[in-house]
A = this chain, B = another copy of it.
């Protein structure tokens, strides 16, 4: 186990660690004691029909949802819903390469995990720990959208509504390549040492380069041209990098990022239907709002729209945001109102 102050309650508040026991993985590995970091809001009603599941994105945790998306002023309203955010496996809070006490899966020995493994783990957690059999809504962004689609295809009877934001049901080749360039920034740092580093600080340079790729692909060309970082209180483009993006990513665990990236690259609901994406998406019975971000550089609207067209009870709802993919951070004041309006409409629909 490695110390890392980023993955503590000081930064990530009010979460609980819950073990779902042994998790056998699609790729053949095993997580002997699969511990999930879970944040909840609100109360499950007697009918057990007001549960919402939030899934997390690459490098993300429940905290951004707590800070920006959930609250009585939002569609994700704890006064109405019992909201459960499950941190994805390998995100540094749930069981991950750096935080497991089990030497058989620590650091470089952490097994390959798939989106489907996360969803199976989440379903077991919800059923066994909370007694939840059906979800009023599954919502997530980016890799969280991958999990949302996986839920709707794998467990169609359990998902009444789904809102995949800025992500796809089947990962695209371009996305695979982009994610690989993120990985290469880590792998190429001698401090990474095949995953056997003593501290994430040993991989500082690689993680800093990794953050620079997020600068060019995570935001849009127009975000930079319009100097939108100024709206966030930064004095310059350089300051936005050195005081926000670099510290944000260099604080993280390199093996955690690599674990998530491996999943992200291979997200694909058509694994359920022998590679037939249309057949997989046709399984979905949930009402679905497909919500790409207008300026997303790597989950572009057209990729999301093409999938939406294959989902029976679905609608495309483009979120207009010049920020690009990392609009998910809710940095533009106009972002959350669009998400809220869409989710309110979806939650009101039968």
Q: State the A residues within 8 Å of B (CB).
A: 172-175, 177-178, 180-181, 184, 188-190, 205-206, 209, 212-213, 215-217, 219-225, 227, 237, 297-298, 300, 302-303
A299 to chain B, nearest CB (A): 9
- What are 15 of the A-B contact pairs (CB < 8 Å)? A172-B221, A173-B225, A173-B227, A174-B225, A175-B221, A177-B224, A177-B237, A178-B216, A180-B212, A184-B212, A190-B190, A216-B298, A221-B300, A221-B303, A225-B303
- In the complex, which residues of chain B have a beta carbon less than 8 angstroms from the beta carbon of A178? 216
Contact present for B224 and A181 (CB under 8 Å)? no
- In the complex, which residues of chain B have a beta carbon less than 8 angstroms from the beta carbon of A219? 174
- In the complex, which residues of chain B have a beta carbon less than 8 angstroms from the beta carbon of A227? 173
Cα–Cα, bound, A264→B178 (Å): 23
Identify which of B175, B213, B237, B302 contacts A222 (C-beta below 8 A): B302
Contact present for B216 and A181 (CB under 8 Å)? yes
Q: Copy number of this protein in the oligomer?
A: 2
Question: Closest residue to A227 on the B side, CB-wise?
Answer: B173
If A221-B298, A302-B222 touch, does A215 touch B172 (CB 8 Å cutoff)? no
Contact present for A209 and B184 (CB under 8 Å)? yes
Question: Closest residue to A225 on the B side, CB-wise?
Answer: B172
Cα–Cα, bound, A98→B173 (Å): 36
A328 to chain B, nearest CB (A): 18
Contact present for A221 and B180 (CB under 8 Å)? no
Task: Given contact pairs A178-B216, A222-B302, enumerate 7 new A-B contacts (beta carbons under 8 Å).
Answer: A173-B224, A173-B227, A173-B237, A174-B223, A213-B213, A217-B217, A221-B298
- In the complex, which residues of chain B have a beta carbon less than 8 angstroms from the beta carbon of A215? 177, 181
Cα–Cα, bound, A178→B227 (Å): 16
Cα–Cα, bound, A215→B189 (Å): 21
Cα–Cα, bound, A298→B221 (Å): 7
Cα–Cα, bound, A220→B174 (Å): 8
Question: Closest residue to A181 on the B side, CB-wise?
Answer: B212
Cα–Cα, bound, A300→B222 (Å): 10
Contact present for B172 and A224 (CB under 8 Å)? yes
Question: Closest residue to A187 on the B side, CB-wise?
Answer: B209
Identify which of B188, B216, B225 contacts A188 (C-beta below 8 A): B188
Which 5 residue pairs are nearest across A and B when measured between Cβ atoms? A173-B224, A174-B221, A174-B224, A178-B216, A177-B216
- In the complex, which residues of chain B have a beta carbon less than 8 angstroms from the beta carbon of A189? 188
Cα–Cα, bound, A222→B180 (Å): 18
A138 to chain B, nearest CB (A): 26
A224 to chain B, nearest CB (A): 4
Cα–Cα, bound, A206→B185 (Å): 10
- In the complex, which residues of chain B have a beta carbon less than 8 angstroms from the beta carbon of A173? 224-225, 227, 237
Contact present for B174 and A216 (CB under 8 Å)? yes
- In the complex, which residues of chain B have a beta carbon less than 8 angstroms from the beta carbon of A181? 209, 212-213, 215-216
Cα–Cα, bound, A188→B204 (Å): 12
Cα–Cα, bound, A347→B298 (Å): 38
Cα–Cα, bound, A209→B180 (Å): 10
Cα–Cα, bound, A216→B183 (Å): 14
Cα–Cα, bound, A219→B80 (Å): 46
Identify which of B188, B212, B303 contacts A209 (C-beta below 8 A): B188
